[in-house]
Structure 1
Amino acid sequence: MIYAILNGNQGLITTLISSSLIAALLFFFLGRRLRKPGMSYALAGISLAVEMTATLYPISPNAPASATCFIERNIITGTFTTQGLLNVLLFVPLAASATWLTRRPVPAALACVALSAATEVAQALTPGMGRSCDSTDLWTNSVGTLIGTLAGTAALRWNASRRRSAATFLISERQIRRSLIGFSAGMTAIGLTAAFTVTFVMTEVAWANAASPEQQKAAKAAVSEFLGKQVHLTQVQFFPGQVKGSGSISANTDHGVLDLSWPSLEVSSGLLQPTSPLVGPDTPRLSDSDATEIASAFARDHFPWALAGHTTVSAAGPHDASRLVSWRSRKNGVLMPMRMDVLVGPDRKVISFTARHVPDPTLPSVHIDHRQAQALVEHKYPGNVVISAELLARTDDNNRWRPYWMLSFGPPGATSGSSQDGVVQDGIPAAATTAPTISVITVDAVTGAIRPASPDALDHD
């Protein structure tokens, strides 16, 4: 998080410098008042100011509290990334200063770990922070604490030997016991607070997926185009694809999220509003014509290729107050792979979009019609009936484009939502059917071969 925030955030850098200067002066005079080395206290003040500013500086004043904590499955890998090393470095001077000034390594180290844990929870619960807590941050901060404590202890030993006096730091059984009791009490309070206020999410996404400088630059350019130059990037991650060198970039900001394909750099989807507009039974409905006009203007600015497709409008969102404007292309009755969907809210603003720019592929001739595909499915699954069907182009296991029938089926009387692209939907593009009794299957429109298919396979063709 620190690397992404420092990258081009002039406000944070200015605050970091000013808070460090103020803290240095205050701690210097505090040390002099206590008849202690003023410079040592000033360095401790700077270390504390840097930690507090870097972790608690509000990067998204309009964002609600995330109330989310990500538990990384692989925290070791994240330690050796740029982000991880910065987190380690952040706590080294703080722990070293605390050890040097208190001359008590154990309570100094435990206090730094507790501070890191409290900071992570505060990031998740404070509105306007634009952050969420992360187990990798706590781990790397703890590693930095250990290094700093060892460095501070070594400095105390060296100072004692230089003065030819006994070591002046204290490590005793009583001190360790009291420190552990205080640490346990503090961590319990932090844990209970998080347990009742924060949602914990297990994730495979670690800082090992941090984007390269070139990918960071591409994400920044896309964010500037879609969300404006005033929007700040908070995190950019790269997700490798099945083909070496390909994948997707996820750009998180304080006002929304964008996804880009790599290395083509085409923007494939976006969430342009961090919070959904308030909608009630009395909220005026957006007309289809107004939604089409707004969505078309958006597509004209960013995805002009989509306007050549056929336009449809459907109600979406709570109370059907929003409108989903979609563009599709057909060739010889086959739905082509291009996709464009724009969700417009009742406030006349674009909420989200998905886009896939794929030129119309050359397909083999269709030999299986609708009735034949339906008969094949109902014969293979006795007692079920086909609910909806769509003839579309998608890739086979050898990455070749072919025409396929995608059919949803279930027992007689099964209810479903509307169908879009051959998949039962609930008004907006989704990757799941609305009833658990409804299944999806594909039939090769050339050979009649049947194979199970999950709806989200459409997103990977």
Structure 2
Amino acid sequence: MIEAVFQDHLTFLAFAITATLVAGIVAYLMAARRIDRAHAGFYGLWASSTIGPIALTTWGGSGILSFRCTINPSVTEVFTTTQGQLNILLFVPFGLFAVLATRRPLFGIAVGVLFTSTVEAAQATLPFVTRLCDTGDLVTNTVGIFLGASTGVIICHKFRYGTPLTPVMVRRTAIVGIATSLLIASTWITVIDPERAVVPAETPTASAHQVQELNLALSGAFGATYEVEEANFHNNIDGPSTLNAPLPGGFVELTWPDKEKLTVHFTPTSQGEGTYAYWIPGVSRPVRTADDAEQVATLFAKRQTPWGLRDSKVKVWPIDEKQDLGWVVEYRRWRGKLLMPMRLDILIEPSGRMTDLIARRVDDPKSLPQIKIGEEAAWKRFDAKHNLKPSDATRERPVYLVERHGDEWRIHWRLAARVGGISLSGTVDATTGEVRNAVQTPVGDQTPVVEEIPG
């Protein structure tokens, strides 16, 4: 987490260090009025170890309130990740200095657990925080507090200094703690929507040759910036198989064995989990308009994917109409009104960095089947498949395109309609009239697929 937050944010780093030092000095001066200076120093360090985690775990949010918290069922796995280990180190000082300052181990641990619980709840519910809430973080933070407190207990037994926190202060703090605990509990019950994390199933490892081909595809798009040492192979019975591997803050996927489509995704900076989006050397710059985004994407494409610009038309549209999350720049080739299979989509965030790349390098088919099904006939077959009356549904604009069916390129009508809160979709073969991939999904459950949007 520390590395992710600090990267490219020197101003924040300076602010966090300053705030931490100031909090420590103020706490020390206040404590030194009542107790000896050596003991007061631990109160100052405790204050500093409180401000540091607050700054790191609440700064740089996405600005989007999710009111969700991920429930991580794999308790032990979080300790094997870099973020989990850094979280432990981040909260060790809190537990240590809480015990050294108060000389009450159970009190220090209780305050620490309440502290990290408050932080996680705030990440999911406060508009000026809006970071990702995860029970895995809660577990690692708590372990860090226990480790620090255990070290503090050993030190307290070996060195005698000062006096423990008075019973009166303990009782007052307990009252505040109980009230805070009730507030957190009520927030979880009434506001936060828990989401169970899906533990990925074990997948076959890609061969050395497949990893080499994946790296060749990566280098073609990003030069020497990214290289993977191993990848997973997913054998898809219904479509092309894929190779995929994690990248810093994202992933890469390549269809196999055709190596036709490369998909790369990086965590957007707006999500507040660090800066991972790809900075295009010599090209990226802050973008404010769709034209700015198009210029950045086109310069990248000229350098890395010039095949996507040849005879293509470009369209730019915002990722979100209400929030400034960036733009989708898509390049498509057309034969009259017929959309060819080539795809090039580049997502540029306001910082000018790239968050997504979908590159499908396919030559236009030279021969295609005869068209026998027009638009109205396609809609009739679509309605029949979904048991619809035309008056019942709101139709969306059809997409007339070339898609591969089996080993053959065929012309299809991709259709979609909405009935109340249900979205209906499907493709109609423009030669045979066969309806394929007929799906009904709740509108709220739809996941936008960039490459399926006509240009």
TM range (shorter): 0.5 to 0.7
1:200-252 Cα offsets, whole Å, 9 max, x none, are: 3626389xxxxxxx99xx8xx99xxxxxxxxxxxx9632464879x8643233
Question: Do the aligned partners of residues 308 and 295 (structure 1) sit closer, same or farther apart at CA in structure 2, a change above 3 Å counting?
Answer: farther
What residue in structure 1 maps to residue 52 of structure 2? 53
Mapping for residues 394-409 of structure 1, pairs under 5 Å: 394=404, 396=406, 402-407=408-413
1:109 Cα shift? 0.9
Partners of 1:120 and 1:360 lie apart in 2 by 46
Which consecutive residues of structure 1, in runs of 5 or more, have no partner in the other structure? Answer: 207-213, 223-234, 278-290, 408-421, 426-432
Give the conservation status (yes or no) of the 8 Å contact 1:256–1:273: no
Query: 1:189 is aligned with what amino acid?
Result: L
Give the conservation status (yes or no) of the 8 Å contact 2:27–2:44: yes
1:159 Cα shift? 4.2
The TM-score, its normalising length taken from structure 1, stands at 0.58
Question: Do the aligned partners of residues 308 and 435 (structure 1) sit closer, same or farther apart at CA in structure 2, a change above 3 Å counting?
Answer: farther
Give the conservation status (yes or no) of the 8 Å contact 1:65–1:125: no
Give the conservation status (yes or no) of the 8 Å contact 1:65–1:129: no
Query: 2:193 is aligned with what amino acid?
Result: F
Mapping for residues 5-404 of structure 1, pairs under 5 Å: 5-36=5-36, 38=38, 40-56=39-55, 59-60=59-60, 64=63, 66=65, 68-74=67-73, 76=75, 77-124=77-124, 129=129, 131-159=131-159, 183-193=177-187, 199-200=192-193, 202=195, 204=197, 237-239=249-251, 241=253, 248-254=264-270, 297=295, 299-304=297-302, 305=306, 307-309=309-311, 311=313, 327-331=331-335, 335-339=339-343, 356-361=358-363, 363=365, 365-367=367-369, 369-371=371-373, 374=378, 377=381, 381=385, 388=398, 390-394=400-404, 396=406, 402-404=408-410
SS at match of 1:371: coil
Question: Do the aligned partners of residues 393 and 242 (structure 1) sit closer, same or farther apart at CA in structure 2, a change above 3 Å counting?
Answer: same
Give the conservation status (yes or no) of the 8 Å contact 2:268–2:277: no
Query: 1:204 is aligned with what amino acid?
Result: A
SS at match of 1:34: coil
Which consecutive residues of structure 2, in runs of 5 or more, have no partner in the other structure? Answer: 200-214, 227-246, 257-261, 440-445
Number of residue pairs matched by the alignment? 374
1:93 Cα shift? 1.9
Give the conservation status (yes or no) of the 8 Å contact 1:95–1:149: yes
Give the conservation status (yes or no) of the 8 Å contact 2:23–2:51: no
1:108 Cα shift? 1.5
Give the conservation status (yes or no) of the 8 Å contact 2:342–2:360: yes
SS at match of 1:440: strand
Give the conservation status (yes or no) of the 8 Å contact 2:368–2:411: no
1:410-451 Cα offsets, whole Å, 9 max, x none, are: xxxxxxxxxxxx2437xxxxxxx5766764334667998764
Query: 1:335 is aligned with what amino acid?
Result: L
Give the conservation status (yes or no) of the 8 Å contact 1:390–1:405: yes
Give the conservation status (yes or no) of the 8 Å contact 1:68–1:124: yes
Give the conservation status (yes or no) of the 8 Å contact 1:395–1:402: yes
Give the conservation status (yes or no) of the 8 Å contact 2:120–2:133: yes
Query: 1:440 is aligned with what amino acid?
Result: S
1:158 Cα shift? 4.0
Partners of 1:183 and 1:7 lie apart in 2 by 35
1:92 Cα shift? 1.5
Query: 1:45 is aligned with what amino acid?
Result: G
Query: 2:249 is aligned with what amino acid?
Result: Q
Give the conservation status (yes or no) of the 8 Å contact 2:49–2:93: no
Question: What RMSD in Å do the two structures reach over aligned CA positions?
Answer: 5.7
Query: 1:42 is aligned with what amino acid?
Result: G
Partners of 2:315 and 2:73 lie apart in 1 by 44
Partners of 1:126 and 1:72 lie apart in 2 by 19
Q: Among the aligned pairs, what percent are the same residue?
A: 21
1:195 Cα shift? 5.9
1:103 Cα shift? 2.6
Give the conservation status (yes or no) of the 8 Å contact 1:368–1:447: no
Give the conservation status (yes or no) of the 8 Å contact 1:443–1:451: yes
Give the conservation status (yes or no) of the 8 Å contact 1:328–1:338: yes
1:313 Cα shift? 7.3
Give the conservation status (yes or no) of the 8 Å contact 1:96–1:152: yes
SS at match of 2:369: coil
Question: Do the aligned partners of residues 443 and 405 (structure 1) sit closer, same or farther apart at CA in structure 2, a change above 3 Å counting?
Answer: farther
Question: Do the aligned partners of residues 10 and 395 (structure 1) sit closer, same or farther apart at CA in structure 2, a change above 3 Å counting?
Answer: farther
1:329 Cα shift? 1.0
Partners of 1:28 and 1:307 lie apart in 2 by 63
Partners of 2:267 and 2:64 lie apart in 1 by 19
1:136 Cα shift? 2.7
SS at match of 2:361: coil
Give the conservation status (yes or no) of the 8 Å contact 2:266–2:356: no
Give the conservation status (yes or no) of the 8 Å contact 1:327–1:341: yes
Query: 1:360 is aligned with what amino acid?
Result: V
SS at match of 2:139: helix
Partners of 1:343 and 1:93 lie apart in 2 by 41
From 427, 432, 437, the counterpart of 1:452: 437
The TM-score, its normalising length taken from structure 2, stands at 0.59
Partners of 2:420 and 2:337 lie apart in 1 by 28
What residue in structure 2 maps to residue 413 of structure 1? none
